[in-house]
Amino acid sequence: MQPATRKKIEALFERYPEKRGALIPALYLVQAENGYVDAPAARDVAELFEIKPVDVWEVLTFYNMFYTRPQGRHHVNVCTNLSCSLRGGRGLMRAIEAHLGVHAGETTKDGRITLGHEECLGSCGTAPVMQVDGRYCEELDEVEAKRIIDELD
């Protein structure tokens, strides 16, 4: 962890009645530094918060906005919950996996795209949905999804 990140985290402690309340914002800071939070970084955070590394790891692996390994330049997440599945979400996922040559949870060999699976993106009325770098792409078919992905740098 860079000294500047450590200072920012220590400054967060003043905002919360208990140090632990600053854990999620601190993890965002660490992730911004490296693009992900691996086990050594989680241990550094645990030491700073005076908690066990497993307590940090539980938070990291519970929330899908944290990454524990290197990621691609772009994040493509496909919703396969019930509404999206009923409107082709699972087929969309399979088509994107075949198009990119990776499975959900993996990154393309060129490091361009990390493909993810979302349990629910909360846009059931416009299913099937995928999220590309935080932007929702709705009412998709395979052709449109592949076009959007191919336009990413």
Q: What mean pLDDT comes out for the span 68-87? A: 94
At 137 the pLDDT is: 97
Secondary element (H or E) of residue 67: none
Contacts of 103 (CB under 8 A, 6+ apart): 97, 115
**Phi and psi of 101, rounded to 5°?**
75, 25
Query: What's the angle, vertex CA 118, arms to CA 147 and CA 101, rounded to 5?
Result: 45
- In this model, does residue 90 exceed pLDDT 90? yes
Q: Give the pLDDT mean for 88-100.
A: 96
22, pLDDT greater than 90:
yes
pLDDT at 65: 86
Residues 12 and 25: beta-carbon distance below 8 Å = yes
64 has a pLDDT exceeding 90: no
pLDDT band for position 1 (cuts 50, 70, 90)? confident
